[in-house]
Amino acid sequence: MSERYDAGMATRRAVLGDAHVNRAEAAKTPFDEPFQTFITEGAWGSVWSRPHFTKRERSIVTLALLAGMGNFDEVAMHVRATANTGATKEDLIEAMLHVAVYCGVPKANHAIKIIKQTYAEMEGA
């Protein structure tokens, strides 16, 4: 694998945690292996590994973008990642307020529902 892949895998593990990445790697097949390599090198090795934003800031931006675009399938995963990135509940509600203003209340409302449910699961409620 490439240096970018190695850097991406290290960042991916730091953000999502070993358990999540190990599950994803175990579920990888020859069909989706090119895609997994692409996101590890591209998303994690190129963007998430850049030095300007902190992992906390990237978490906030990522969750706002996911919600704003209506890509809700990955919201819970990135909320769980906040345990590793330092983004707080306060950070996320502020981000969702921006989503509501700039992308629409229904998108923010749906993301907030997922965020609340994910935090409740994380806290064992």
Contacts (Cβ under 8 Å, ≥6 apart) of 81: 15, 16, 17, 59
Domain holding 80, by residue range, is 53-125
Handedness of CA 14, 20, 121, 81 (dihedral sign): positive
Which residue among 10, 32, 52 closes a domain?
52
Name the domain count of the chain: 2
Distance between CA atoms of 31 and 54, rounded to whole angstroms? 33
Q: Quick one: what percent of the chain has pLDDT higher than 70?
A: 99
**121 and 98 in one domain?**
yes
Question: Quick one: how far is CA 86 from the chain centroid?
Answer: 12
Question: Quick one: how far is CA 121 from the chain centroid?
Answer: 17
Q: What is this structure's pTM? A: 0.93
**59 and 48 in one domain?**
no
**111 and 65 in one domain?**
yes
- pLDDT, one tens digit per residue, over 72-106 is 999 999 999 999 999 999 999 999 999 999 999 99
